[in-house]
Amino acid sequence: MIGGDTAAVGAPAVVEHTVVEHTVVEEVRAAFDRYERALVDGDLAVLTELFWDDPRCVRFGVADRQRGAAEIAAWRRAHPTVPSGRRLRETAVLALGDTAAVVTTLFEHPGGRTEGRQTQTWLRLPEGWRIVSAHVSEVPRG
């Protein structure tokens, strides 16, 4: 359950996390970490596996976009890794019940002049957690 009574008007709501939410957060974080390792290592099999194998799956990159598992897999074959030294920060997993979660993270590269932003929507499917939508962007550091 999310939400709750507040002690005073204007006070922040109390957030109660259920065991299910904690479990979802742990499972999705493990899947996300597996994806990130595959991204750094160029493990195409894992990168392909973790995207939903469906034509409705979407990935918006910094300067590209793909719709459907086949387009995503083809793009990944042409771009199997990220630049070395990629560092993540402020990674957060938001559980949305027991079947969906959103992961957000910031990333940077050594000497880079941009801040990267990444959002993934994960869905629990019979074959496990899969990314159904992803968005990556970069903005100049200011």
Domain ranges of the chain: 19-140
Cα distance between residue 66 and residue 78, in whole Å: 13
The CATH architecture that domain 19-140 belongs to is Roll (3.10)
Task: Give the span between the Cα atoms of 115 and 142, in whole angstroms.
Answer: 9
Nearest to 101 by CA among 46, 40, 44, 32: 32
Q: What is the chain's pLDDT, residue by residue, as a tens digit (142 residues)?
A: 333 333 445 544 445 567 778 999 999 999 999 999 999 999 999 999 999 999 999 999 999 999 999 999 999 999 988 888 999 999 999 999 999 999 999 999 998 899 999 999 999 999 999 999 999 999 998 7
Phi-psi region of 29 (alpha: psi -120 to 50; beta: other; left: phi over 0): alpha
Q: Each residue of 18-35: b (16+ CB within 10 Å) or e?
A: eeebeebbebbeebbebb
Q: What single-letter DSSP state applies at residue 12?
A: P
